[in-house]
Amino acid sequence: MRKLTLIATAAAIGLMAGAATAQDQVEIVYIPKNTGNPYFDSIIGGFADACAELNCSFTTVAPATAEATSQIPFITAQIQRGVDVIAISPNSPDALNQVFDRARSRGIQVLIVNSDIPGSEAHRDAAILPVDFTTIGPAQVELLGSMINYDGEIAILSATTDAPDQNVWIADMQTVLENDDAYADMDLVTIAYGDDDPQKSTTEAEALLANYPDLAGIISPTTVGVAAAAQVVETAGRAPELQVTGLGTPNQMRRFIENETVQAFQLWSPYNQGLLAAHFAMGVNDGSITNEPGQTFDVPGLGTITIGDDNVILTQDQPTTFDASNIDDFNF
Amino acid sequence: MSATETFDAAKVRPLWHRIVVRPETVTLLLLIIAIFVSASLSPFFADLRFVLESATFYIEFGIVALMLTLVVVSGEIDLSVAAMMALSACLFGIAHRAGLGMPLAIIIGLGSGALMGALNGVLVTIFRLPSIIATIGTMTLYRGIAQVIAGDRSVGGFPSWFVGIDFIAVGIVPVPVIIFTILAILLGIVLGGTLFGRQIYQTGTNPVAARHAGIRVGRLKRILFIASGLTSAVAGLLMASRLGVVRYDLATGGELQAVLIVMLGGTYIFGGRGTIAGTFLALWLLIIIQTGMTVANIAIDAQLTVLGLLLILAIISANSIYASGRR
């Protein structure tokens, strides 16, 4: 009881002292999975630059750990602050549904950034995804093919045997290798699994080199695996007869590009996701964008963007290829 | 001469001294300061409805911490509380998914909590393992079983009446807050006003003397561990209702949250001292601090630093107060 009285007193004082000043700027907050992750810092950069240009007020807050429920207090606090848009890279596909509903019932736009919430699409307004993931497998095969003249033995170094994204991409790679005549001379000899663990990935990559002395290329569609494979090939001095590519971040792979162990690798641009999300949020807010599948809008630098089924928005169709010519433009 | 005087003064502390100089007073003072600081940090904080709504994110650990207070006063600790929340909630979710019906599923959830608590009690009192070791072991075991049975997926699809208990409010007070308050009153009476409560203090102060005084120490501790499992299961079900889904990693790290609340409330980690009032106030202190800083958009690293400093302050003050009160 005494506690309630105290809170009530504080409430009265607070109301007298600081009636919230009205903001006419649109307020956008972005909540990444956790703090201190360069990948998300890059998304934040996109938001911040877009907001500087579009005249919106942008803030970012994040929990210390990427635990399923750790973002909930932050969302509630933002609802209380009366923001207009909550953009979030959620730590759970469904644990946030209740609080998303609460935010939307107060007229707040809820945008999922970087990965969707499968099965819970009805609880958010739209999802901004980095790339059309169906292009990853074929694009990776084409990139490696161009590096080894479309000829020789190749291997895949994946994450865990049941990693859903990786398995879809590997299946796409196998399909294109079998069906496309351009890759007729490329022979997929094995698929190894490094469990996204640096040590295990290194051991698996070493085993590939030992078991397949004629190996011409390794594709590792995981950031941990591609760095480990590049390290092993560098140590063994097998470049350039053995080419490594995959999905990696520029900061991890910069060294291997500079010492020419790796010619090129791919990923997408988290910065562009932030940029797109801010433009989309502002457009929906001022009514210039209708948030319905099939609608299109323009984002400077990204071209015309189409809202897809389930209000999924793809930032780019093809993955970005990083090589010596452009890697210095990226920091994540 | 002065030595004799000091001795006498320590022996009979004046009544006002005994009432005012207590660890709970420190917690209460910190709480009052926290309320005013939070209100001045952000104009959005001073809204009782918002504070109570935010309280529901911490109340589950508060419920666990209330029972944990009794366990700690008895000289033991239970670090498996969060894992018991997760496993009982997962068993409840799986029972519901298997079509057993909600009443039976809830009974399975609560019953499994009591069973897990009983296993902790047996390990500590019959196998004579130190409770810190035994419950670190069962913490991993229960979490592991939850992962095996629930896998990496969420279990959901509960009926709509079950989901969102934190949205249901009496006036502006959400139901979980009411449950927490009622439990605090009940356990406060048990610990502070019953023979069983006095036996808990005696056991925690000196288990050998307690045994010689005819207290069935093993039985008492088993009861406390079972009750801890049961309240953890209640907290797990509340969390399941709040989130609408259960997962094996529910309440990860919650054991430290619960221990933090108990310590902030001035309960002595080596047993024998502590009150429910302290734990009750400590939960509100935690809620006010976290909510106040979060709504003011203060970065999480600064938040954790403040929490750590407060915890150290609370423990130092509790220890010095207990030392000064010792005869």
pLDDT digits (tens, 9 = 90+) for B41-86: 999 999 999 999 999 999 999 999 999 999 999 999 999 999 999 9
Q: Note whether B32 contacts A6, CB cutoff 8 Å.
A: yes
Q: Which of B91 and A12 is assigned the larger pLDDT?
A: B91
The minimal CB distance from A95 to the residues B38, B243, B304 is found for B243
- B240-259 residues touching A, CB cutoff 8 A: 242-245, 247, 249-253
Query: A90-126: buried (b, 16+ CB within 10 Å) or exposed (e) per residue?
Result: bbbbbbbbbbbbbbbeeebbbbbbbebbeebbebbbb
- Name the one residue in this structure whose structure tokens are 């094996």: B248
- Alpha carbon of B299: minimum distance to chain A alpha carbons (Å): 7
Backbone angles phi, psi at A149, to 5 degrees: 55, 35
Alpha carbon distances (Å) from B319 to B32, B264, B314: 21, 12, 9
Local structure of residue A276 (DSSP, 8 states): H
Q: Which residues on chain A are in Cβ contact (under 8 Å) with B40?
A: 14, 17
Tokens of B31: 């709480």
Q: Is A13 on the interface with B (CB under 8 A)?
A: yes
What confidence score (pLDDT) does residue A14 get?
43
Q: Is A203 on the interface with B (CB under 8 A)?
A: no
Residue B114 has pLDDT above 60, yes or no: yes
Q: Is B170 on the interface with A (CB under 8 A)?
A: no
Q: Note whether A65 contacts B53, CB cutoff 8 Å.
A: no
The minimal CB distance from B44 to the residues A8, A20, A59 is found for A20
Spatial CA neighbour of B85 closest among B59, B49, B52, B46: B59
The minimal CB distance from A14 to the residues B46, B154, B253 is found for B46
Interval B164-200: pLDDT, tens:
898 899 999 999 999 999 999 999 999 999 999 999 9
List the single best residue of B47, B243, B289, B290 to mutate versus A (max A Cβ within 10 A).
B243
Nearest CA in chain B to A20: B43
Local structure of A189: helix, strand or coil: strand
Residue B9 has pLDDT above 60, yes or no: no
Residue A205 has pLDDT above 70, yes or no: yes
What confidence score (pLDDT) does residue A21 get?
39
Cross-strand partners of B121: none
Local structure of A274: helix, strand or coil: helix
Q: Is A11 on the interface with B (CB under 8 A)?
A: yes
Confirm if A71 and A46 have CB atoms less than 8 A apart: no
Nearest CA in chain B to A4: B48
Q: Note whether A68 contacts B294, CB cutoff 8 Å.
A: no
Q: Note whether A19 contacts B244, CB cutoff 8 Å.
A: no
User: In the structure, what pLDDT confidence band is assigned to residue A9 with cuts at 50, 70 and 90?
Assistant: low
Q: Is A157 on the interface with B (CB under 8 A)?
A: no
Confirm if A113 and A33 have CB atoms less than 8 A apart: no
Q: Is A68 on the interface with B (CB under 8 A)?
A: yes
Q: Is A8 on the interface with B (CB under 8 A)?
A: yes
Please state whether the peptide bond connecting residue A240 to the residue before it is cis, i.e. omega within 30 degrees of 0. yes
- Alpha carbon of B28: minimum distance to chain A alpha carbons (Å): 9
Q: Note whether A3 contacts B300, CB cutoff 8 Å.
A: no
Q: How far apart are CA A120 and CA A245, in angstroms?
A: 34
Tokens of B310: 């407060």
What confidence score (pLDDT) does residue B12 get?
66
Interval B280-297: pLDDT, tens:
999 999 999 999 999 999
Spatial CA neighbour of B180 closest among B72, B287, B259: B287
Nearest CA in chain A to B40: A14
Q: Is B161 on the interface with A (CB under 8 A)?
A: no
Q: Note whether B31 contacts A11, CB cutoff 8 Å.
A: no
- B29-48 residues touching A, CB cutoff 8 A: 31-32, 35-36, 38-40, 42-48
Alpha carbon distances (Å) from B123 to B62, B194, B202, B218: 25, 27, 21, 11
User: In the structure, what pLDDT confidence band is assigned to residue B11 with cuts at 50, 70 and 90?
Assistant: low
Interval B213-243: pLDDT, tens:
999 999 999 999 999 999 999 999 999 999 9
What confidence score (pLDDT) does residue B24 get?
87
Q: Note whether A35 contacts B242, CB cutoff 8 Å.
A: no
Interval A74-102: pLDDT, tens:
999 999 999 999 999 998 888 899 999 99
What confidence score (pLDDT) does residue B277 get?
96
- The strand pair at A186-193 and A296-299 is best described as unpaired
Query: A143-154: buried (b, 16+ CB within 10 Å) or exposed (e) per residue?
Result: bbbebbebebbb
Interval A174-201: pLDDT, tens:
999 999 999 999 999 999 999 888 899 9
Type of residue numbered A86? I
Q: How far apart are CA B230 and CA B121, in angstroms?
A: 13
- Name the one residue in this structure whose structure tokens are 């080199």: A209
Q: Is A326 on the interface with B (CB under 8 A)?
A: no
Q: Which long-range contacts (CB under 8 A, 24 or more apart) does B24-29 make?
A: B24/B265, B24/B266, B24/B275, B24/B277, B24/B278, B24/B281, B26/B266, B26/B313, B26/B314, B26/B317, B26/B318, B26/B321, B27/B264, B27/B265, B27/B266, B27/B278, B27/B281, B27/B282, B27/B285, B27/B314, B28/B281
Provide the whole-model pTM. 0.82
- Alpha carbon of B192: minimum distance to chain A alpha carbons (Å): 19
Mean pLDDT estimate for chain B: 92
What confidence score (pLDDT) does residue B326 get?
56
Cβ-based contacts under 8 A for chains A and B: 113
List the single best residue of A79, A98, A106 to mutate versus B (max B Cβ within 10 A).
A98
What confidence score (pLDDT) does residue A160 get?
82
- DSSP letters spanning A297-331: EEETTTEEEEB-GGGEEEEESSPEEEETTTGGG--
Backbone angles phi, psi at A192, to 5 degrees: -105, 155
User: In the structure, what pLDDT confidence band is assigned to residue A115 with cuts at 50, 70 and 90?
Assistant: confident
Q: Note whether A18 contacts B43, CB cutoff 8 Å.
A: yes
The minimal CB distance from A98 to the residues B36, B164, B252 is found for B164
Q: Which residues on chain A are in Cβ contact (under 8 Å) with B243?
A: 69, 94-95, 97-98
Alpha helices in A85-163 (DSSP H): 97-105, 136-147
Q: In the predicted model, what is the mean pLDDT of residues A153-165?
A: 87
What confidence score (pLDDT) does residue A206 get?
96
Q: How far apart are CA A331 and CA A129, in angstroms?
A: 20
Q: Note whether B32 contacts A76, CB cutoff 8 Å.
A: no
Query: What whole-number percentage of chain A has pLDDT above 70?
Result: 93
Q: First vs last Cα of chain A: how many Å apart?
A: 51
What confidence score (pLDDT) does residue B325 get?
66
Determine how many CB atoms are found less than 10 A away from the CB of residue B5: 9
Q: Is A294 on the interface with B (CB under 8 A)?
A: no
Q: Is A182 on the interface with B (CB under 8 A)?
A: no
Q: How far apart are CA B217 and CA B124, in angstroms?
A: 11
Instruction: Name A320's Cβ contacts closer than 8 Å, sequence gap at least 6.
Output: A266, A267, A268, A269
Residue B327 has pLDDT above 70, yes or no: no
Nearest CA in chain B to A102: B167
Q: Note whether A69 contacts B281, CB cutoff 8 Å.
A: no
Q: Note whether B50 contacts A80, CB cutoff 8 Å.
A: yes
Residue B99 has pLDDT above 70, yes or no: yes
